[in-house]
A and B are shown apart, each in its own frame.
Chain A
Amino acid sequence: MRMTRFLRALPPLAALAAVAAGSAAPAHAQSLFASRGLGYPSQPLEGRARALGGVALGLPGYNLSLVNPAGAAGVPAPALLVAFQPDFFTSRLGEQENRSSTARFPLIHAAFPFAERWSASVGYGALLDQNWGARQADSVRLSGRSLGVTDSLASQGGVGRFRAGAAYRAGERLSVGAALDLYTGSTRYSLSRFFEADPTGQTSSVPAVQSREWTYSGVGGALGVHWIPVPALHLAAAVSAGGSLDAEPQGDSTVAGTGRSYSIPVMLHAGASGRVAPGAMVALSGEWSGWSALDPELVASGGARDAWSLSGGVEWDTPDREEAGPAFPLRVGARYAALPFRWGSTAGGNEFPTERALTAGGGARLAGGAALADLAVERGWRGGGGAVLDESYWRLTLSLTLLGR
């Protein structure tokens, strides 16, 4: 019966998935910090987790953020989650101010319950954003006169993660999960020099354009657990790790050069939530990523350190609706994160940047539970620590979960 309903829901689900997949690069531009190291780390979270400051595991009920493979356990029906994320950010680099906006799909995740206690899931989420650009005006002296030029460097692409996993409910209080991660993506660098028009009109200079592209591949895995020691308390942990992230140059091998290989860091996640009052839940989580393993490989661009973050949030909901899940919950949260890649060189005295954010949001249970919509608003700041770049941003996360029942 469930399968029949799911099949009936497949066309709209497929349409949504196609839209999301078609629009989703591994990550879209969201920070100039994407120019450092391997890029700006993206979090494949849905709206509820975002609104709670980034707490994506240890929450009551199933959770389709791409963090804990055990999060899909207990999904009541075939489900598809799509997250959409508009971002408005301002970068201040020295005396420059750069305002930009973008929109992306950081997460798409489907889960299917089967054999009573099992759930299978497959998803795609952003991992590293490598979209950024630089521009510099200059002049060259040709035939005794000065001619203006503009240099521009654009990096487009990033790394994403396909995850296929399975979760098992060992009982009412314990779920475990495991997943296979396939890292994928590409980066295209384009370096251009444009010349201003010849004032005499005699000649026209052809821009110098150099492009190179690398594609990424790698394999990893993840394990997760979700434990409910007492009904009011949820604990969860997840770990992901892998071998190497291989970057292979594309195109003519005589000019493309050789590829590179980076260690995929171990990432640890832990989270907990507790009901502190009727209708009120407090959630906390922490994350640690061993990016320092890449420090020797990235030393020329400033190096890397282990990254970590702490998140916390509170969710309020009507108490009598708890059994059926929140109907119109409200959430607030905060996050503090240490970013892994240094801005500038070690010699320049620049330190590693941090990120702070305050979050808020809400949810809605629609169509008798067939659709869950979650909205998160995030106000954040990045930089500090001596970094010459400071950013502030407003980020919206809209996620929709459709259940095929």
Chain B
Amino acid sequence: MRRRFNRGRTLALAFVALPLAGCTDEIPTATGGDLFPGGTRPATFEVTVPAEEFFRPLGDFTGYSGAREAGFLLVANRFGGALEANTLAQLAPFPTTVSYTQGGTSRTDSVYTFLRGSVLVPVDTSASEAGGAVRLQVWEVGQAWDPGSATWTLAVDTAGARVPWRTAGGTRGVLLGQIDIPAVRALRDTVRVPLDTVALRRMARPDFRGLLVTAAGAPSRVQLGRSLLVSADVRPASASPDTTLSIRVAAANQTFLFTPEPPTSPGALEAGGIASARTLFRVNLGLRVPDCRGGTCVQRPLREVTLNEVSLLFRPVAVPQGFRPLGTTQLQLRRVAEPELGRRAPLGQVVNDVVFVPGAGNVLLGTTFNAADSVYVVPVTQLATQLAASDTTTAALTLLGEPPAGSFGVAWFAPNPRLRIVYTLSERLSLP
């Protein structure tokens, strides 16, 4: 009896368990507006809010960084009618010995002769511009200078000494090499400025003061990578005549000098650039948007609609004196906790919208300002949704370059940004 029951129990369990393995639940779904109970199709609208209804500037601040914090070097010649910039680099010592293998034997020689060489100058073509052919020249610095304090006018500017350049922008010594660049934008990554053996011997001397890289020719602004190198072919004295070795000497200290100082504008909103300009402002999202369904319009607060996309629209304006952005500039919008502290107001969290991109993870939207765009769009939907749902509908924000001094050009925007709101209204769902 017990045995029979157990068999039945086993069969019973299998009877239920097997079909469960294929248990699915797909909702029958049809396509067609007719299936939506009357009026329940959502309706999406777009409004653009002028600055006076939501935006209040709190001030522009700059001077948070300089050439020494920049991740690049620069040369410029009359760019924008005003900008001049030269790059300075102190070289690491040339090697005192060279090693080579001859006849299967490894040898070291402390005497070698230079055959030829070049200065390798990496160029960021996307952040460079020239009105024509540019001559890139490499000079020996004509006087002692301090990499930590040199400015356009001072070779040394420390607490103990202020030594002016004999020539503003860096005193030029001997011309070591030069190259003509017909079109900067057509360059490959690295420019080779050829050096002769005389130049190489000068550079190898212990009293060599460093390189001064300048641009001449057409007005230009050329952004260089922060990794200048000197490459030289040498022949050890003890080696056979057909032996050639290649040595490389890196720059030990690098900086660039420029004039004039970045311009400021009393009207424009500033962000980024070599001085890490930032604009503080306050937004008030206690706004109402129209609901014009059914022929009559009523105004609804943002918390009563679904915000699909809220974006700040900044209109770029011209930046004078050669400081305009070239290519792309990385900017961020951050919260500011205590805007009354002005330039020292501590920065809060980034408020650019975040989207998840497969393979890339969370990606911030609107952080790239392209100088060619007529409108710079910064999506802030998540911030707007948060503010609309809270009692405090205002927030102090700042637009700034990220990382600091990440680009030379500063972005200027008109002082009246707009707010684009895309929102959806849905009929209240109800039972039949």
Task: Tell me the A residues contacting B by CB distance below 8 Å.
Answer: 9, 12, 15-16, 19-20, 23, 28-32, 34-35, 37-38, 82, 84, 86, 89, 91, 93-94, 96, 98, 100-104, 131-137, 140, 142-143, 149, 151-156, 187, 189, 191, 193, 195, 202-212, 214, 247, 255, 257, 260, 298, 300-301, 344, 366-368, 370-371, 373, 389, 398, 400, 402
B213 at the interface (CB under 8 A from A): no
What is the distance, in angstroms, from B363's C-beta to the closest C-beta of chain A?
Answer: 9
What is the distance, in angstroms, from A105's C-beta to the closest C-beta of chain B?
Answer: 9
Contacts of B297 in A (CB 8 A): none
- Cα-based distance from A148 to B289 in the complex (angstroms): 22
Inter-subunit contact A208/B42 (CB<8 Å): yes
Contacts of A209 in B (CB 8 A): 306
B8 at the interface (CB under 8 A from A): yes
Given A203-B377, A204-B365: A154 and B27 interface contact (C-beta under 8 Å): yes
Chain B residues touching A, majority SS: mixed
Contacts of A389 in B (CB 8 A): 30
Instruction: List 9 additional A-B contacts (Cβ < 8 Å) besides A12-B13, A142-B44, A203-B365.
Output: A15-B13, A31-B28, A100-B27, A136-B32, A142-B46, A153-B36, A203-B366, A255-B428, A257-B428
Inter-subunit contact B432/A210 (CB<8 Å): no
- Cα-based distance from A30 to B25 in the complex (angstroms): 9
Inter-subunit contact A367/B431 (CB<8 Å): no
A sample of 30 cross-chain residue pairs with beta-carbon separation below 8 angstroms, ordered by A number, consists of A15-B13, A28-B25, A29-B26, A29-B28, A30-B28, A32-B35, A37-B432, A84-B19, A91-B30, A100-B27, A103-B19, A133-B29, A134-B31, A134-B36, A135-B30, A136-B41, A153-B37, A155-B27, A195-B308, A202-B366, A202-B379, A204-B379, A205-B308, A205-B422, A208-B42, A257-B430, A300-B432, A367-B7, A400-B15, A402-B9
Inter-subunit contact B431/A247 (CB<8 Å): yes
Contacts of B33 in A (CB 8 A): 136
Contacts of B27 in A (CB 8 A): 29, 100, 131-133, 154-156
Chain A residues touching B, majority SS: strand
- Cα-based distance from A29 to B27 in the complex (angstroms): 5
A-B contact count (CB 8 A): 211
- Cα-based distance from A301 to B42 in the complex (angstroms): 19
Inter-subunit contact A134/B30 (CB<8 Å): yes
Q: Which of A131, A136, A149 gathers the greatest number of chain B CB atoms within 10 Å? A: A136
- Cα-based distance from A28 to B24 in the complex (angstroms): 10
Inter-subunit contact B26/A210 (CB<8 Å): no
- Cα-based distance from A188 to B34 in the complex (angstroms): 20
- Cα-based distance from A187 to B430 in the complex (angstroms): 11
B22 at the interface (CB under 8 A from A): yes
- Cα-based distance from A32 to B28 in the complex (angstroms): 6
- Cα-based distance from A151 to B431 in the complex (angstroms): 19
Inter-subunit contact B23/A23 (CB<8 Å): yes
